[in-house]
Chains A and B, each alone.
Chain A
Amino acid sequence: MMTINVVLVMIIGFAGGVAVGSGFVAFLAVLGIIPRLTQLTKTMKMIHYYEAAVILGALAGAIATLWNPVLFFTPFLLIPLGLAAGIFVGMLAAALTEVLNVFPILAKRIGVDGKIAILLMAFVFGKVIGSLFQWIYFVNR
């Protein structure tokens, strides 16, 4: 009975991992962040290494959430870490905005075809200020 339970739990855990992992990759693929980055840096040939980076990153995240390791590093390591996390989430948000397709319609409605970059900056500043406001003032109130 015990063996069956263990095998059953292993199967459920493995199946859950497969489902979440493939879902995560599908989500990244839909957003098109990796193609966009390779296009900007002109590193199409290195795309397999980027795949490995995503997989290793997901594994590191899984280890960090499941095992609760404590590394006792200097807090200054958090600055590049935070910046990288922010850039990734920023690209995510930008990709979603693009999928929503609001900008082309908005720009046509108010007739500012030339000034779309300024509208874009409204979005960028809004995200940055909103995020700063939340962490510095809004939380723990």
Chain B
Amino acid sequence: MEKTVYIRLRHRLQVRPDEVIFLKDIAQVIADEEIYEPLCKLALYQVTVNDRNIVVIDVMKVIRAITNLFPNMEVQSIGPAQGIVEIVAKKRKVSFPLFLLVWLLLFIGAALAIMNFHEDVSMQAVQLRIYTIITGEVDSKPLIFQIPYSIGLGLGMIIFFNHVFKKRLNEEPSPLEVEMFNYQLDLDNYVALHENKESMKRIDDH
């Protein structure tokens, strides 16, 4: 009787340089007990220096390796068709001066941007008018409106991002985290198709 093995490639995998990638690293495997062990120890790829930092392992390569080992095996692949292997040399330390520089850049940029926005939408004129409508008096600097406004500005951004430093206001992911995730997914999609020589076939005429 023909036996079936189910594999599901992992989306992302981090390895050290010069490591050998085994089937159990790159995929979740369901198989009969007598073949499970040899399957898990099936070497798929030797990471070398030439690989730089990303290797894409196509599911076809995995199936080919499994059928080489067990010719009568039926392989069922579930999930993504490519696994992305990220080669991590050593943990990259965040350089603190660089971080400080970016922090200051964002800080000053945000301050300038909000001042430009206020000028652009004539915020001062509107505020003076609101002051006059509510109180009936004229004040060229209605700080009683403007200081709560400025604090509210920061509060609104915090509410939107659902973040106060490390503390979260509730369980849901913030729009920024979703955005980060989407960006990573786009990058992965690009890498999976672009770094994978099997996924494209071109006319070779140069």
B contacts with A: majority SS: helix
Interface centre among A91, A115, A119, A130 (most CB of B within 10 A): A130
Q: Between A and B, how many residue pairs show CB distances below 8 Å?
A: 231
Within 8 Å by CB of B130, from A81, A93, A105, A113, lies A81
Interface residue count on the A side (C-beta < 8 Å): 73
B99 close to A87 (CB less than 8 A): no
Q: Mark B130-173, 1 if CB is under 8 A from A, else 0.
A: 11111111001111111111111111111111110110011010
A73 close to B157 (CB less than 8 A): no
B115 close to A140 (CB less than 8 A): no
A105 to B179, CA, bound (A): 10
Which chain A residues lie closer than 8 Å to B159 at the CB level? Answer: 37, 40, 87, 90-91
Which chain B residues lie closer than 8 Å to A93 at the CB level? Answer: 113-114, 117, 153, 156-157
Chain A, 107-141, CB within 8 A of any chain B CB: 107-108, 110-113, 115-136, 138-140
A134 close to B115 (CB less than 8 A): yes
Question: With A93-B114, A122-B106, A139-B141 in contact, do A72 and B135 touch (Cβ < 8 Å)?
Answer: yes
A132 to B186, CA, bound (A): 39
Which chain A residues lie closer than 8 Å to B142 at the CB level? Answer: 75, 78
A13 in the interface (beta carbon within 8 A): no
> How far does the Cβ of B129 sit from chain A's closest Cβ, in whole Å?
8
> How far does the Cβ of B174 sit from chain A's closest Cβ, in whole Å?
9
A66 to B125, CA, bound (A): 15
A124 to B161, CA, bound (A): 10
B111 in the interface (beta carbon within 8 A): yes
Question: With A98-B176, A126-B108 in contact, do A87 and B133 touch (Cβ < 8 Å)?
Answer: no
A118 to B176, CA, bound (A): 13
Interface centre among B124, B151, B156 (most CB of A within 10 A): B156
B36 in the interface (beta carbon within 8 A): no
B154 close to A82 (CB less than 8 A): no
B108 close to A135 (CB less than 8 A): no
A88 in the interface (beta carbon within 8 A): yes
* A-B CB contact pairs (8 Å), 16 listed: A37-B159, A64-B133, A70-B136, A74-B135, A82-B145, A90-B157, A91-B159, A93-B153, A95-B160, A98-B176, A120-B161, A120-B176, A127-B153, A128-B153, A131-B153, A134-B118
A-B complex: 5 closest residue pairs judged by Cβ atoms: A86-B152, A90-B156, A126-B110, A130-B111, A82-B148
Residues of chain B touching chain A, judged by Cβ–Cβ distance below 8 Å, are: 92, 94, 98-99, 102-104, 106-115, 117-118, 124, 129-137, 140-163, 165-166, 169-170, 172, 175-176, 179-180, 182-184
